[in-house]
């Protein structure tokens, strides 16, 4: 009876995991469309890009999110090895690094404002920085919510199949937002001038 319930859980959770992959694919297409829009806009301006330097804060946020990918990997590995204390520790570290990323990104916006690069201006390519980073921050907030639920589930007495499911979903999504940020950051760096 218990084995049958676990098998049903795996089947139900597999369908939900597929939905996550569909969401990730559509989000990737959304960011691809945004960068394509930027390329078309810049092409219409004679190839003139941002005409500015990227905020220095973005390099620090990049370091934070890269480190958080390592910590979520370690949390996932600990969960598979039934090392729940380590799983919780690395989940906490991932959440803290995610919050640090969010705060540093907002500091990057402050650097943009200080450089008089506003959301609404004569050069819409600068506006794209806010659009790229703003939509990415929405994904970060969703990722933090997933991480928070994984942490909650690790403290409660959920069956191991569900514990692994929550950490896998969080890990997949978190690695996705990491990859998207690297893509966006490199894209913006290449279009600074």
Per-residue pLDDT reduced to its tens digit, 5-18: 455 555 577 778 88
Least confident piece of the model among 57-71, 148-162, 173-187:
148-162
Residue of 105, 128, 106 lying closest to 51 (CA atoms) = 128
DSSP run (H or E) holding 84: helix 84-114
DSSP secondary structure letter of residue 118? -
Burial of 89 (0-12, 13-18, 19+ CB in 10 A): middle
Tokens of residue 71, six digits: 């910590």
pLDDT of residue 172: 96
**What is the rounded average pLDDT of the residues 94-106?**
98
Q: How high is the pLDDT of residue 10?
A: 58
Q: Give the confidence band of 112 by pLDDT, cuts at 50, 70, 90.
A: very high
End-to-end CA distance of the chain: 64
Distance CA 83, CA 75 (A): 9
* Cα–Cα dist 58/56, whole Å: 5
Q: Give the tens place of pLDDT for each residue, 124-150.
A: 888 999 999 999 999 999 999 999 999
pLDDT of the residue at 1: 47
Q: Which domains does the chain have, with CATH numbers?
A: 13-190 (1.20.120.80)
- Whether 97 shows a pLDDT value over 60: the answer reads yes
DSSP 83: -
pTM: 0.90
């Amino acid at each position: 009876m218990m084995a049958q319930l676990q098998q049903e859980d795996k089947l139900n959770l597999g369908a939900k995991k597929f939905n996550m992959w569909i969401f990730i694919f559509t989000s990737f297409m959304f960011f691809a469309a945004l960068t394509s829009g930027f390329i078309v806009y810049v092409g219409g301006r004679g190839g003139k890009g941002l005409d500015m330097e990227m905020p220095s804060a973005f390099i620090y946020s990049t370091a934070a999110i890269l480190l958080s990918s390592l910590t979520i990997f370690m949390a996932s590995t600990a969960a598979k090895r039934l090392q729940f204390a380590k799983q919780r520790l690395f989940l906490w570290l991932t959440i803290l690094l995610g919050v640090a990323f969010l705060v540093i990104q907002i500091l990057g916006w402050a650097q943009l404002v200080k450089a008089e690069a506003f959301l609404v201006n004569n050069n819409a390519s600068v506006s794209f920085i806010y659009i790229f980073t703003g939509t990415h921050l929405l994904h970060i907030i969703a990722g933090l919510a997933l991480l928070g639920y994984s942490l909650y589930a690790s403290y409660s007495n959920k069956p191991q199949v569900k514990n692994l499911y929550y950490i896998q979903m969080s890990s997949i999504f978190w690695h996705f937002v990491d990859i998207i940020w690297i893509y966006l950051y490199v894209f913006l760096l290449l279009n600074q001038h």
